[in-house]
Structure 1
Amino acid sequence: MKSEAFSAVTVINAFATGKGGAIGIDLKVSVGVKLTGEGVSGEIFVRGEKFEDFSLVGTVVETIKDKFGLDFGVKVKIDSEIPVGKGLKSSSAVANALTDAILKELKIELSDIEVVKLGVEASKRAGVTLTGAFDDACASYFGGLCLTDNLKLELLKKEEVEKLPVVLLIPKEILLTSSLRGRNFKVLAPYVEEAFKLALRGEWKKALVLNGLIYGSFLGYNLEPIVEALRAGVVAGLSGKGPAMFAITEEPEKIVETWRDYGEVLTTRLR
């Protein structure tokens, strides 16, 4: 059975308040699943290179087994276009696509939102998220802008967005979510709360710029790429915990050249 899910970029990071938002983009994860007697096997490719870490796959399988009282194993083929450890929701996308494919293979029917919640539960168990990343998971699964309360697993707002070009800057460093445990993001709460209100009012472009400046400076990133985009009149922000940054613009070529000095640059679209 096959399924797919997509990457997303951050509008509001939920670390500080438990409320967050993200928008789907057009980088894809494709998953094929066959049921086996036991265990987890198969192949994972990320951007054409073999990936050896099956921990998230194992956790998704265990979460589904526990929820439905079943016993089974899986053989998987996962092919992802999404860079890992860059803040581009690779874990949410894999958890979504894998959960959906396994449920289809088991002939278990759940509503879309329940599929997403099951994937979030698996991501929490796997330790690949601090907040449950319900916002990322919704944006990955549904596309468009999704604003959520991650603590209550509530989808507060979902709206379609214009499929504008997106420029992604992918610096060389990797920042795994597990390395952020113990950071006191609560000190950012009053400022992030204001940005979230903007997003709820429909001003998500302003919100994502504020979010990027707040979290980017707190996490110690070089914000020059965002500043350069703003100088060019382009909306730009930090995706997730970073280090990936993104710009949304009708004229992506303006940003692509400037950002090449800072790392790998990809172009895609909102979805």
Structure 2
Amino acid sequence: MRVLGTGRANGGISFLHALGCGNGCSAPIDLHMTVSLIDGKTENLDDKHGILEASLDWWRAKDLSLPEGDLGWQVHSDIPSGMGLKSSSALAVAALNALSNATDRTLTHLSIAHAVVNIQTQTGCSLTGGLDDAITASGLGMRLVDNNDLGYAAMLKIFNPLDLEIFIVLRGRRKSAIDKAAFEALQPRFEEACLKLLDGDLLAAFTQNGIAVARCLSDDEALRLYSDIESGSTDRVAITGSGPAIAVLSETNSAAATAERLDSLGLNFIRTRMLQVREDDFVVDPWEDEVWA
């Protein structure tokens, strides 16, 4: 099978869950996904939400050109799926980038993010559309966004990357469905985290969001792990997304001690870093106004 185009995207961790107050914020991490568009049908069993086909459907619906013949996909990823690490957003971003590469039709990062919101909503893999996750997966860094606004005004604040080591504690699969009412009940807690972000106190917002998400999910194990992992350290610990993965933020000079502590607790984890911000001026070609979802 011949590769027609290739796209790439990165994973991320949450600093503010958008279901809590409508605003969301994710930070990019150094875990990546590569998607290739190939000639010939394929079966992608790991794409449980049908994101790859939905990406093709979105492309066709916008009347954008495609290579002739049957099309399929190849996916290579080091982002664990279904863990709250933005793998669904990364899959959609990488698929759209592959389509763009295959057809020489360039989309701005913001246009791709809008398309991903449409795709994730249509496939049911995101309750909020995930604009913050799509922005992060497309390589635009860490931004606080209004998930209810798809215009330029959605970008509420842009943050410089934190120079931190990140440990991702993997805890198996999510055990229960997400209860929107539980998030609504704790909306003031998420609004407090949002205000901390606006004030530039990223680590406090991360912690506040993590506690609120754990309570919304009735995840007592996560709350216990927060205490165990943070004990005697300056690390910050929180669920990412809707879990079940837990992110641990550690200063470089204490990362070795963090790794030893996680080992001593018998936890399964992977180690990575936050990615650097890439500047983008969001210049849009006139035809893209019709492409935005």
User: TM-score, structure 1 length as denominator?
Assistant: 0.88
The Cα of 1:183 is off from its aligned counterpart by 4.0
**1:221-247 Cα distance to aligned partner (Å, 9 max, x none):** 211222233332211211000111111
1:84 partner letter: S
Q: Which whole-Å CA distance do the structure 2 matches of 1:128 and 1:144 have between them?
A: 22
Judged with a 3 Å threshold, the aligned counterparts in structure 2 of structure 1 residues 155 and 74 are, in CA distance, closer, same or farther, namely: farther
Structure 1 gaps of 5+ residues are 45-49
Q: Which whole-Å CA distance do the structure 2 matches of 1:78 and 1:206 have between them?
A: 36
1:58 to 50, 53, 69: 53
**1:72-123 Cα distance to aligned partner (Å, 9 max, x none):** 6522111111111111111011111111111221222221110121122111
Tell whether the 8 Å contact from 2:203 to 2:236 is kept in structure 1 after alignment. yes
SS at match of 2:19: coil
Judged with a 3 Å threshold, the aligned counterparts in structure 2 of structure 1 residues 205 and 237 are, in CA distance, closer, same or farther, namely: same
2:245 matches 1:244: yes
Q: Which whole-Å CA distance do the structure 2 matches of 1:54 and 1:144 have between them?
A: 25
2:62 to 59, 64, 67: 67
1:150 partner letter: N
User: TM-score, structure 2 length as denominator?
Assistant: 0.82
Where do 1:52-201 residues align within 5 Å?
A: 53=48, 55-68=50-63, 73-153=70-150, 154-174=154-174, 179-180=177-178, 183-201=181-199
User: Which range moved further: 193-202 or 221-230?
Assistant: 221-230
The Cα of 1:68 is off from its aligned counterpart by 2.3
Q: Percent identity among equivalent residues? A: 23
Q: Which whole-Å CA distance do the structure 2 matches of 1:53 and 1:135 have between them?
A: 22
2:36 to 27, 32, 47: 32
Tell whether the 8 Å contact from 1:43 to 1:78 is kept in structure 2 after alignment. no
Q: Kindly tell me the number of residue pairs found equivalent between the two proteins.
A: 260
Judged with a 3 Å threshold, the aligned counterparts in structure 2 of structure 1 residues 74 and 161 are, in CA distance, closer, same or farther, namely: same
SS at match of 2:243: coil
2:11 to 7, 14, 36: 7
Tell whether the 8 Å contact from 1:165 to 1:270 is kept in structure 2 after alignment. yes
SS at match of 1:42: coil
2:63 partner letter: F
RMSD over aligned Cα, in angstroms? 2.1
1:67 partner letter: K
Tell whether the 8 Å contact from 1:135 to 1:148 is kept in structure 2 after alignment. yes
Which of these two proteins has the greater Rg computed from alpha carbons?
2
**1:16-52 Cα distance to aligned partner (Å, 9 max, x none):** 211110100001101111356xxxx3365xxxxx736
Which position in structure 2 is the counterpart of 1:218? 216
The Cα of 1:12 is off from its aligned counterpart by 0.3
Tell whether the 8 Å contact from 2:50 to 2:123 is kept in structure 1 after alignment. yes
Q: Which whole-Å CA distance do the structure 1 matches of 2:134 and 2:115 have between them?
A: 10
User: Which range moved further: 66-75 or 8-17?
Assistant: 66-75
Judged with a 3 Å threshold, the aligned counterparts in structure 2 of structure 1 residues 83 and 183 are, in CA distance, closer, same or farther, namely: farther
Judged with a 3 Å threshold, the aligned counterparts in structure 2 of structure 1 residues 211 and 59 are, in CA distance, closer, same or farther, namely: same
User: Which range moved further: 240-249 or 152-161?
Assistant: 152-161
Q: Which whole-Å CA distance do the structure 2 matches of 1:197 and 1:252 have between them?
A: 29
Which position in structure 2 is the counterpart of 1:257? 260
Larger strand percent: 1
